[in-house]
A and B are shown apart, each in its own frame.
Chain A
């Protein structure tokens, strides 16, 4: 239904105004998991939205790197739980309805 956007590495770097080192660190820490190969990275919508969250945490909220890693870890668990809950709700609806 919607067209999927992906960005290449250069476009991604200039969108967020960050350097190669910063991006490499983000990927190293698994803050970001772009698809593609190391020489030709590809950033999808969810990667871009997640990078915005990282920037909001760092720039707007002044969270340091340890804090960002911890928040992302908790955020991932919350969303994992939400995804499962949504699937559960659907399962309950379809089996009881």
Chain B
């Protein structure tokens, strides 16, 4: 989570006045209603407004600084902005066309084009609407059903196919904007955004994991628990494994479009005990044959 001080761009020691000044400078540039064509402005504005709601309130700021509360939930409650209505409703009582009336009146001007457009517009399919849907890594592998809340407060149930890839777009037919006449509805286009997992990463249909083992497990072999996208499984670590040893869990990867699954690859990392260990030191110093092996021979030119 981002530090609210960083979001506003002031130091932790900034005075209330400095904070307000920095916030206003950002907010003026980013307020969605003052930036009607800028889709990014709304997200950024919500972030800085949330940060300011927290830090602009002396009481809350004190609690945040002392660690009593964190920045979670600091985002402003979602509500629709003026721009959401003002551009959409041509019958808005607030719309003011006076400053460009000259373009509308002249013969052959925009008014004529608009009239022709209105005549041709009787049967038009509705627009496609684009949405982003964030999902967890595990959901992207297993698939499932997600409910998307639309800007107008409605909801859309989206079925996520198992193994969906980052940036893939799902098309829901007829769930877009209404058309005119017999035009019918447009489609909803949903771009899936997969949140990275802390441990698992995906490469093609395979999943990769780096996993620590103890010296004893590596030298003697062991059966250890390993996380996968569908829960933990037991994996055999063969005797004599090493840092960098790659083990394969067959069929534990992402589902393939043509059927079957990719694999999960587990790269081992041998970890010595955290604390110095007298027994280990005594063994290694007396371990003559171990000293003749030079791993750098293989990498040195």
The answer to whether B97 touches A53 (Cβ under 8 A) is no
Query: A residues bordering B, Cβ < 8 Å?
Result: 1-2, 33, 35, 45-46, 49-50, 52-53, 56, 60-62, 71, 73, 75-84, 86-88, 90-92, 94-95
Give chain B residues whose Cβ lies under 8 Å from the Cβ of A90: 117, 121
> Considering the complex of A and B, which 3 residue pairs feature the smallest CB-CB distances, nearest first?
A91-B117, A46-B85, A79-B86
Instruction: Tell me the residues in window 65-117 of chain B with beta carbons closer than 8 Å to chain A beta carbons.
Output: 79-87, 89-90, 92-100, 104, 110, 113-114, 116-117
Smallest distance from the beta carbon of B18 to chain A beta carbons, Å?
15
The answer to whether B124 touches A83 (Cβ under 8 A) is no
Question: Which residue on B lies nearest to A49, using beta carbons?
Answer: B82
Instruction: Count contacts on B: residues with CB < 8 A to the other chain.
Output: 45
Query: B residues bordering A, Cβ < 8 Å?
Result: 23-24, 27-28, 31, 33-34, 36-37, 49, 52, 79-87, 89-90, 92-100, 104, 110, 113-114, 116-118, 120-121, 124, 152-154, 178
Q: Kindly list 6 other residue pairs between chains A and B, CB separation below 8 angstroms, not including A79-B96, A83-B95, A91-B114.
A: A1-B154, A61-B28, A62-B24, A80-B95, A91-B120, A94-B117
The answer to whether A49 touches B80 (Cβ under 8 A) is yes
Pair count A-B, CB < 8 A: 118
Report which of A56, A79, A88 forms a contact with B114, defined as CB distance below 8 A. Answer: A88
The answer to whether A82 touches B94 (Cβ under 8 A) is no
The answer to whether A87 touches B97 (Cβ under 8 A) is no
Q: List 15 A-B contacts (CB under 8 A).
A: A46-B82, A46-B85, A52-B79, A61-B27, A76-B94, A77-B99, A79-B83, A81-B97, A81-B99, A82-B37, A83-B90, A83-B95, A94-B120, A95-B116, A95-B120
